[in-house]
Amino acid sequence: MAREIKSVNQQLQMQDAAPNDFKDRLIKLIPAEIIAAYITISGLIIGFSEGDPNADKSNLLWIIILVLMIFTPVYLVKVSGVSKKGQILFSTIGFLVWAFATASPYTKEILGFSFQLITSVILILYTLLIPLFYKG
């Protein structure tokens, strides 16, 4: 299964290719490899800094998020063969949503709710709604 989402117009041009359904778009809009890299790196940073109460891991996590955010479009184009700008944009935003929902360097409360709770709700909504609206 190729990573780029096929639109209805592409399906008409290529008679053997069916347009991607919701499930396919859902999977193709999540940059799983980049998210896995972030979760692994953030786990290492958090794990190695547990023994040092003075360790400020948030700056390093911000740097990792920035580096992977810049790397996501490059990875999608060069490795996964994605050429659609919309898919690249939504996948990059998706990485950011996943990063903040899983291991965020931001820890303040917003409107009395933890940032982790808010980003977790946003993650669920973003992941389920974007494939409904982005058809390729």
Mind listing the pLDDT tens digit of every residue in the chain (136 residues)? 577 777 766 665 666 567 788 898 899 999 999 999 999 999 998 888 776 666 678 889 999 999 999 999 999 999 999 999 999 999 999 999 999 999 888 878 888 898 889 999 999 999 999 999 988 7
Angle at 85 between CA 126 and CA 13, to 5 degrees: 105
Rounded Cα distance between 87 and 92, Å, is 8
pTM over the 0.75 mark: yes
Rounded Cα distance between 7 and 134, Å, is 10
Sign, CA torsion 55/59/63/68 = positive
The domain spans of the chain are: 8-49+56-133
- Per-residue confidence (pLDDT) for residue 86, from 0 to 100: 94
Strands (E), the chain: 109-110, 113-114
- Per-residue confidence (pLDDT) for residue 13, from 0 to 100: 64
